[in-house]
Structure 1
């Protein structure tokens, strides 16, 4: 059993590659529900954001199951192209550290941004809902989320941090010189669109228009900022009133096309138009950038935005890295003994069943004992079992992670017949629950 992570992100793949491997929630859910069809893949969480697509899995053997995991990624996206130059993989300890860095926003496009921790939580919740998490993944993601929270609590890495939406608005301000009194059109009405509207208003934008396929959502967001909801099919006509257009939809195809942008620019009579596409997959056809008077930036352009607080956050990142190392070392130690937990649980359950059976037999022969005396008998019998098991458990623990690990597991199974006598489905379930704890 090993941990294996396969993925690509903003550091290894440009947006035109990332968008082809962006994973919609529905596709992820469907893929996870069919995980049993892939040999060697036991547990899984799929994390997909605008800047990364990563699969965390518990596999039988990382070396042989990497091909299966890659096929799972291809099946999710419908792509079969050669992307080895963009992919990275991490196994066991490296996988743990990478996830902790991701959850702590130390691997983000914008250092210290807060959205990634919520995205990790959502990815884990989706996997639990689909039934693809168990002992290892549950332990790993609980600790990763706790580590992300600890980093944000114990360091100032999130202090004055920027978000993707903030960086987008800052880029618009730098390019246009000033947003005071400007007009903006936002495609999309999700969380990213809401944050973008907040930053636009804060920078002095006076006219906010929101276009969304569901008009009621556009109306709700527009009302929050004193703006106007625009019907989806009229958005590009109304764009003549905008200086900045920000796109942040979940559409799987381009929503802004060259021909309609060409028509729009003719109506603007030379007035320039600034597009910021922060969606993955992209919302704006790249050919729009070739139209005279149009400036188009996508999410990869945001890395160049000057952030006056980045040096402070880099200093805080040193403390955050130390926290990640501490937490990773702790969970590695816990995983070291994970392989023994099922066998320990089986042995404990076996002994507990024997103890309880013998106490029940004694109760029919000792009717004169009162309740207090029976509590003493119960306590005494439990202590006898605990002391008998103490040495075997210590031997198992000492062998964890060594060459003798497999020998002791098999020895325990053989000596106590843990795979045969009295092992019912119910007992297996109890044992598994113990291992999860």
Structure 2
């Protein structure tokens, strides 16, 4: 149930009696009072939360609302290339000093220090000690440098060019090769099918220096950024550091619009059958694309709708689990859920299964049949009660163990909230509500 777990991972410790009255579905979801959020005058958004797990540590994260989808035709692969350059030297940490310094304080590259580039975002991770003022200050200097002061000299660019090309060669395995072939159908007639983050080999080999510089100047700007700070910290001190390190920067004049790229709907049913001699597993997948743009969850009524979708998936997946445990299972693992695709502007109801090589059609048949059976006949009352019981037990456990939640988990939640706010400014930062909402919506009564 991994997809659904994420929905209920962060349950806020609000007083129980606040929600003892009947819920009004048009009321907005309140903001978590344990999270300090704000926006600088230049548009940079920040989140700060005190959390003691792990002790004497803090997770810093720099989130850029820009990825490969924004590359020009002659920049394909440079969003990812720019990510590499941030570790190759900055204004305050020239050449290899950045990685050397972090390793000297116990932050290992890859294991702790890391980053990733996707279609719509580029994200930098920096977990550091929080009980040493000097190390804490240097941590903020590092994420400031990543955001605005990365060294982009021809020498450093050429040195990294070979590294990225080797990553391209190694990374272009079975999964990437097959993805390149099925993406034009999955993301039919959209820009996403043309902007895989790994880019184009010819461009990586031959791009001129100004191309990566212009990508950095265009998209690494305050109003497309979020700084997230969660850990064993003093929140007021962290806010002062964010203001000191990031408020002085300005957005470029005549800034390029951050275009939203849609995935067009289509009437046809597309089929992609891809194979590769180096593939290590076999799976089948169904996508029923939503015709509407993803809805923002901002009211109790919206949350009730999300909860309904979650219960639907739970009941359907309980049926798939019974199939998996049958004497002659059609798949080794099967799952269905409603959620995001590669594009942030398109959701889909998705079913997939991991299968033995000789049972692809059997598994596909079961997925289609179970989806159609639900569509025609629905679920039984017993199935619904079982799903509600599972949800409430999960919520109770997570709430009771909230003091054991690792900081990294909160960081992921706030990162997701930032992207929602970017696309839906009216969201105003709402985060997951307290457990009482779930009890009232599922059982029509609060708990004390």
Fold shared by both chains (TM-score > 0.5): no
The structure number with the bigger radius of gyration is 1
Which structure ranks higher in relative contact order (CA pairs < 8 Å, sequence separation ≥ 6)?
2
Q: TM-score range by the shorter chain?
A: under 0.3
Q: Give the number of the structure whose residues are more often helix, by fraction.
A: 1
